[in-house]
Structure 1
Amino acid sequence: MLLKELIITELIKLRKSYFVFFLLGFNILSVLIGSVIFSANREVFKNDGNQSLVLWGQGSLYSSQLFFPMLIGVLCAVSWQFEEKDRNWQRMSIIPVKKNMLVLAKFFSIQIFTGMNQLLFLALFNLSAFVLRVPDIQVWNFTLWCFLGWIGTFSITAIQMFFSIRLRNFSFSILLSAVGAILGLMTLFVGDFLFNIFPYSQIAVGMRARTLTNFSVQEFILFCVMSVLFSVFALSLSVKLLNNRED
């Protein structure tokens, strides 16, 4: 089977899980929390020309650093459980599908959902900014940061896919995504360098949720290198694990 056909098959499976509603719910919650915190402290920023950045920081931090990594964990766990359910793995093993193609198909299908998540967040953020009458919305800047945040999801998806295949346990792999998200949140208080290289912080790094400024050249290179390294390493481990699996 071609990779494109496998991706379409995976998307059909995930679509039946109604994950679009989960994406919508998580994003509404993130934007709502950020909007409430912003509104409660708005007087402080009343004469500040960066109100849109403050609102972005409040909303994107909760989404990128806490809710979204856990949601990716759920997506990966559900995606792999389709193969574990009713011993589907045994039937799948006789189909002429290379293990690397299967892993890539699941990876890219989940990335399509994470891309949808970023679009939903951007739309809801702009809606909240309109309702709160926040001036000078930097639409193109925030759109770029959403895209970079999507790039940051690659490493988390790859790692969570490995956990799902390795553990074969729906709940525990999701628990690990929650632990990763919390550890990523803790790196905020440890130091910039650890925050910038920790895999579960890459969404927040890409969305500039902490700095609220564009990447410097050095920061952008580090971000790209970390995303590629974590993704390639975790996906390679997943393929190796499947090739060695007997049951």
Structure 2
Amino acid sequence: MLRRCISAEWMKLHHSHIWIILMILPILSVLIGSANFYMNQGVLTKEWYSLWSQVGLFYGEFFFPILIAICCAYMWRLEHHNKNWNMIMTAPVSTTSIFLSKLIVVGVLMIFVQIFFFILYFLGAKLVGITSELPGELLGWLLRGCISALTISALQLTLSMRIRSFAAPIGIGLCAVFIGLGMYVIHLGLFFPHSLLTTGMGVLSQTSLSPGEDLLFIIINLLYLIIISAGAIRRMGKSDVVA
């Protein structure tokens, strides 16, 4: 049943324009960050790390969370039109399969975005003249970015499920970005979904996480993911749908 739901979600995305957004925002992040790095090489002297600090600031702190919010809102767009909620909730499909299929598809899309971003980051580095080896922390930044992106996806899917407006959950997601930034500044970056992304991807500090911090990072993301997803699935099963 879950496999069929996932196939249905992919079919809905096949002819959509979401792919354009998935590509444009990472491109903008790397273009802006690389240009800023190129014009300030006298100050930004740590090559790959300095470039990551520039592209990561735009991508990991702003564009990536907004991209997640847009994708999640789009995943519920069809359900919120033409009373499709009534059809879905009366179909022989469990609420668990409905929610998890959307979460899995968004997760796969975010992995694609991360890979695409890495390619752009690498090409941007070569264009600005960086010739040294890639930083050893890069893989960890990208993987932790995928993990925290899944947590944020669960949160944004829940918001988009309950709010019929396409723009409102995205606006809430943008507000959460600034809350996450504040949590990071006061050294509580491991305790809020959006600040987990900032911490995990080394957006503002390119230092590596210790093994203990890595374990805590994974545990907290897993807890958020389970709690948010379970709450959303339960809400779908217990609440009346406003179509």
TM-score using structure 1 length:
0.92
How many angstroms does 1:40 deviate by?
2.0
Task: Supply the AA of the counterpart residue of 2:240.
Answer: E
Stretch moving more, 93-102 or 5-14: 5-14
Match of 2:145 in 1: 149
How many angstroms does 1:135 deviate by?
2.8
Question: Which of 164, 168, 174 is matched with 1:172 structurally?
Answer: 168
Is 1:129–1:137's contact at 8 Å kept on the other side of the alignment?
no
Task: Supply the AA of the counterpart residue of 1:131.
Answer: L
Is 2:73–2:157's contact at 8 Å kept on the other side of the alignment?
yes
CA distance in 2, matches of 1:115, 1:18: 18
Task: Supply the AA of the counterpart residue of 2:5.
Answer: L
Is 1:34–1:62's contact at 8 Å kept on the other side of the alignment?
yes
Task: Supply the AA of the counterpart residue of 2:114.
Answer: Q
Question: Which of 230, 233, 236 is matched with 1:239 structurally?
Answer: 233
Tell me whether 1:35 sits opposite 2:29 in the alignment.
no
Match of 2:186 in 1: 191
Is 1:10–1:109's contact at 8 Å kept on the other side of the alignment?
yes
Tell me whether 1:44 sits opposite 2:43 in the alignment.
yes
CA distance in 2, matches of 1:148, 1:86: 38
Deviations, residues 17-73 of structure 1 (Å, cap 9, x unaligned): 22221111100111112112211220124xx4x311110111112111111111111
How many angstroms does 1:140 deviate by?
5.6
How many angstroms does 1:81 deviate by?
1.7
Match of 1:228 in 2: 222
**Identity across the alignment (%):** 28
CA distance in 1, matches of 2:7, 2:57: 32
Match of 1:113 in 2: 109
Tell me whether 1:68 sits opposite 2:42 in the alignment.
no
How many angstroms does 1:143 deviate by?
3.1
CA distance in 2, matches of 1:210, 1:196: 14
The structure whose residues are more often helix, as a share, is 1
CA distance in 1, matches of 2:90, 2:208: 49
How many angstroms does 1:172 deviate by?
1.0
Deviations, residues 142-163 of structure 1 (Å, cap 9, x unaligned): 2332122111101100111111
Match of 2:208 in 1: 214
Tell me whether 1:18 sits opposite 2:17 in the alignment.
yes
Question: Which of 152, 158, 162 is matched with 2:158 structurally?
Answer: 162
SS of the equivalent of 2:82 reads helix
Is 1:122–1:143's contact at 8 Å kept on the other side of the alignment?
no
TM-score using structure 2 length:
0.93
Structure 2 residues without counterparts, runs of 5 or longer: none
SS of the equivalent of 2:130 reads coil
How many angstroms does 1:204 deviate by?
2.3
Is 2:48–2:135's contact at 8 Å kept on the other side of the alignment?
no
Task: Supply the AA of the counterpart residue of 1:200.
Answer: H
Q: Number of residue pairs matched?
A: 241
Q: Any residues of structure 2 matched to 1:117-128 within 5 Å, and which?
A: 117-128=113-124
